Structure 1
Amino acid sequence: MEDKDHVSPSSPPWRRCLIQDVFQHAQAELLASAAEATRGPRPSSTKAASSPAPSTRSRSSHGHASDTLVVSLDEQTLDESYSRYSRTLHMVLLDPSYHVFASPRGRGALLYKVAQRTLVVVGDPMCCKGEMGAMLDELQRFRSARRLRLAFMGVSESFLEHAHEKRWASLRIGRERVLNPLANKVLDRRAGKRILSQNRQLLDPDRFALRLAMYAPGVAGIDAGVEAALDALYGDWCAAKLAAGGGKTPQAFITSYQLFSHRSKTAFLLARDRDGRLCGMAMLREVGAHAGFHIDPCIAAPDAPRGTTDLLVVTAMRLLRRAGLSYLSLGVEPASEVGGGGGGDDGSRWRVGDMLANAAYRAVTRARDVQGKRAYYDKFHPDPALESSLYVVLPSLFAWHEVLAVMKVAHVQARRAGA
């Protein structure tokens, strides 16, 4: 008989407690990184760390005790569907301005925001492929009762198959860049020598003396002092981003997180200076569909040593390598211009959607911003095999209101001429 408490590395992603896997290996990895800073680099190797021992604790479908107890069917549906099907764009779960639609029959859940009388679904609906049609039928009844239009933002190629069956227009708006910690050129010392040298300097007790730690409240319990420091650092960073946008709206495609709203699904890498002050942090959020994590935000205090965020990214890769995990999403790299994803019942329909979206997208996208994000991601050597395109899907023929709704949800505004 199968041992239900045993979770092997080959178990379905939703069966593993990924944060617990990483947390179990964190102490050994962080000690090794600190030792490396004092004795020199580790031997070069193209092989991943040995496979971790399988976890012997099963994941509760209700999350860990540090979260609010699941008391309703909707909350249970969200928790289970997130653990199985969540992707990078489901980061908006931690943004309190988004809402959850849970299938009345427990088929799955999705995340959305309403703008311009349009229900904008962000990320793929979190359900199995066979339930997608029934799930969207339930959503249709929900939004029809409220007289809302429909649009999808940041959906994957997997959802695009369903959109094509419906003959909905789709527009490619970017791609997800993903690191493979088990086969990464920087970790294997085949690239990124400057980053690794800087990492050693930051950890060297005779130089910058940064100290790293991992905070996983869903595993080890809540530390109010740590959470207050994380909140303060993140609040200051958000305020700086808001000021950079003229103080009117958040920068485009920036999500405002409530860091501790889902503790069972997140963990934090902390960087402290020699005085013990928090000077950098990276949040790791579970991505159930890929048995991995999304790293965001990854930030440093204004007076933190140069390269602090690079150190956090490399350390996150090392932790996942120790845990035998091959998926660490850096996030979304916007496209320089939108491209057709197909769909539509004829060519004229596609051209209408194409012209609308391209006009809107060109009005708000700065090429230098796209190039800057691409250059930042490239230095960590993402794995092209894990890269995936992201799309906006517009079910309506004349989707001007839906395009405006997507822009509003993404905090996008038309820029001034010459900006």
Structure 2
Amino acid sequence: MGASIAIDGPASLPKTNRPRNQKISPGNEKRKTNAKTTVPNKPTFPDELGASLAEQLCTRPTPFNSSKTLTERLESAKIRQTSEIIPISGSSTRHNTEKEFSDTSSERSQSSDSTRARNKDLSSTKTVREVFHLDDFAALAALQRLILTYGKVSHMGILDKSYSFFVTKDRQAALYYKVKDHIAVMGGDPLCPPERYSDLLSEFEKWRKSLNLGIACLGAGEEFAVFARRNKWVTMCFATDRVLNPMTNPVLHSNSGKSIARNVKKLLDVKGAGIKVEAYTPTLGRDMQLEEQLLNVYDEWRDDRNNNRKGQAYITVYDPFGLPDLMTYVYTRGFDGVPNGFAALRTLGSNSGYHLDPYVASPGAPKGITDLLLYSTMALLNTAKVSYLSLGYEPLDKLGTIHGMPKALANISRKVHKKIFQEVHVSGKKGYHDKFHPDETQQSNLYLVFPPGIPSLKHMSAVAHVANIKIRQAMLARSPSPRTNKDDAETERRMSEIVEIFRKKINGGPFRESTPST
């Protein structure tokens, strides 16, 4: 399971200036002997697990200050210089199990080709281009650089094909967005330093106005929220970014949650479940067969989720290999050698860390695979001395601070949010995250941001659509409890009030939407 770790014996004794015939008293001799004896620390289970995964991701060392990719941050990895792209399945950096089970994998791969193709077609309505220009490649290179430098957890939608990117003419700033109800909903903060926010939004506004599009933002961080409040935009704290610290995590270091570590060991026991955990990064060469197998896992998980669970909010449909240069993958194999779970790690340049999403298991996989993936990921990042692992959005059951909105309207918004939150089934996220003991000192708030003035129904509806929230369905949901039905009636009455306020605002003239200044 774990990589063997060589421990050097005691170093040769240093020479002294003691005269050759000088005698040493028994007491001094004992003290001298004790000083020479050292007992090396025995590697812990997480150490061995992290070292095993690190060996599969080794590359030539790069100083931590200038390093961005995970492979460059693994101190214990062996030096491996790669001058050209080679097939991973033929290298020594990963357990070569594909060949042994190629027949099984191929059959499974072929059977899911049509299903996955259909899912991908449904996830994107864009026209596939056949003609490209050099400027297209320049824009893509600039975009990847900006994502690598300024990427945050709120930019998770970059792997969703339904989003589009806007890059400034000088290629020094970008944002990504999705159009719903004639509103361009930005995902997260702009991909640029704060001093470029105003220029980027001005350029984006000119483009939007040509298409008669409004603007809103879902998942803005504290930096952009401060900028928005300074320019009198509306901000509403709706979620937090929960973060694990692999360097101090009590679950990984056996100070808490010992049942998780115990179950992980059982899954990895060759006499038990016999699960193997491995790591893969496309930057060392693409393994198309493995990627196909991991896509099968993702498709099966999505199908099972969609068929057996109620609709969930804040669900993103990923193309896990859409931007392979930013990604590292930890995955599991069963006895048959076929992958049955994987976790995707996306580089976050802003935090010098990683975002873990998705991390999923096949419907028929042994219980506890997602725990194993999360535990193994922490072990790997601990080996790489990485202290920031984001678990992504965790929506709040109650709205946090609201700025730029009248108090009466803010109170109604809180009640509406509470009602919707009860129906979108996101509370389970918090419970799962809590058992891994997130680092509260690294937690940060996420915001909804709207232009100055009272947000229109179009703005609210657009953000809800992007977040996969069906407002009408959530508002009309009924509980068998008579008391809750009263609450529903009161909420609907207040919803009617807010609609009337919006109508009056609309009748009074168009909404203001000014481009903020720095």
- For the superposition of Structure 1 and Structure 2, which TM-score range results when normalised by the shorter chain? 0.7 to 0.9
Equivalent of 2:459 in 395, 398, 402: 402
Other-structure match for 1:317: 378
**Partner Cα separation in structure 2 for residue 187 and residue 129 of structure 1:** 36
- Aligned-residue offset at 1:356: 6.0
**Partner Cα separation in structure 1 for residue 258 and residue 214 of structure 2:** 51
Which ranges of structure 2 fall in alignment gaps of 5 or more residues? 1-59, 80-91, 96-133, 480-518
**Partner Cα separation in structure 2 for residue 271 and residue 265 of structure 1:** 21
TM-aligned CA distance change 1:97 to 1:357, over 3 Å: farther
Q: What SS does the corresponding residue of 2:65 show, helix, strand or coil?
A: coil
**Partner Cα separation in structure 2 for residue 121 and residue 341 of structure 1:** 19
TM-aligned CA distance change 1:268 to 1:165, over 3 Å: same
Other-structure match for 1:385: 441
- Aligned-residue offset at 1:237: 1.1
* Contact 2:68–2:347 under 8 Å retained in 1: no
**Partner Cα separation in structure 2 for residue 30 and residue 200 of structure 1:** 21
Greater mean deviation of Cα atoms: 234-243 or 107-116: 234-243
Does residue 418 of the first structure (1) align with residue 478 of the second (2)? yes
* Contact 1:340–1:354 under 8 Å retained in 2: no
TM-aligned CA distance change 1:187 to 1:130, over 3 Å: same
Equivalent of 2:161 in 91, 96, 118: 96
**Partner Cα separation in structure 1 for residue 245 and residue 269 of structure 2:** 27
2:428 alignment partner AA: G
Does residue 255 of the first structure (1) align with residue 307 of the second (2)? no
TM-aligned CA distance change 1:402 to 1:26, over 3 Å: farther
TM-aligned CA distance change 1:396 to 1:241, over 3 Å: farther
Q: What SS does the corresponding residue of 1:390 show, helix, strand or coil?
A: strand
**Partner Cα separation in structure 2 for residue 85 and residue 19 of structure 1:** 19
**Partner Cα separation in structure 2 for residue 365 and residue 374 of structure 1:** 13
Q: What SS does the corresponding residue of 2:400 show, helix, strand or coil?
A: strand
**% same residue:** 31
Q: What SS does the corresponding residue of 2:397 show, helix, strand or coil?
A: strand
TM-aligned CA distance change 1:275 to 1:6, over 3 Å: closer
- Aligned-residue offset at 1:30: 10
Other-structure match for 1:57: none
Other-structure match for 2:127: none
Does residue 228 of the first structure (1) align with residue 292 of the second (2)? yes
1:259 alignment partner AA: P
Other-structure match for 1:127: 192
- Aligned-residue offset at 1:227: 1.2
- Aligned-residue offset at 1:76: 2.4
Equivalent of 1:265 in 326, 330, 346: 326
- Aligned-residue offset at 1:130: 1.3
Calculate the aligned-residue CA RMSD, in Å: 2.6
Equivalent of 1:105 in 164, 167, 170: 170
Equivalent of 1:18 in 67, 70, 84: 70
Please say which structure displays the higher CA radius of gyration.
Answer: 2
* Contact 2:163–2:178 under 8 Å retained in 1: yes
**Partner Cα separation in structure 2 for residue 252 and residue 312 of structure 1:** 23
Equivalent pairs, count: 366
Equivalent of 2:241 in 153, 168, 176: 176
**Partner Cα separation in structure 1 for residue 413 and residue 74 of structure 2:** 41
TM-aligned CA distance change 1:224 to 1:163, over 3 Å: same
* Contact 1:174–1:391 under 8 Å retained in 2: yes
* Contact 1:157–1:388 under 8 Å retained in 2: yes
* Contact 2:238–2:396 under 8 Å retained in 1: yes
TM-aligned CA distance change 1:93 to 1:368, over 3 Å: closer
Name whichever structure is richer in strand by fraction.
1
Q: What SS does the corresponding residue of 1:83 show, helix, strand or coil?
A: helix
Q: What SS does the corresponding residue of 1:173 show, helix, strand or coil?
A: strand
Other-structure match for 1:73: 138
Relative contact order (alpha carbons < 8 A, sep ≥ 6): 1 or 2 greater? 1
Greater mean deviation of Cα atoms: 234-243 or 21-30: 21-30
Does residue 281 of the first structure (1) align with residue 342 of the second (2)? yes
Q: What SS does the corresponding residue of 1:72 show, helix, strand or coil?
A: helix
* Contact 2:62–2:72 under 8 Å retained in 1: no
- Aligned-residue offset at 1:339: 2.4
- Aligned-residue offset at 1:366: 2.1
Greater mean deviation of Cα atoms: 232-241 or 312-321: 232-241
Other-structure match for 1:63: none
TM-aligned CA distance change 1:81 to 1:384, over 3 Å: same
**What are the Cα deviations for residues 246-287 of structure 1, in whole angstroms up to 9, with x where unaligned?**
6xxx63111001111111011211101122121111111111
Does residue 195 of the first structure (1) align with residue 260 of the second (2)? yes
**Partner Cα separation in structure 2 for residue 109 and residue 200 of structure 1:** 44
1:405 alignment partner AA: A
Return the TM-score normalized by structure 1: 0.81
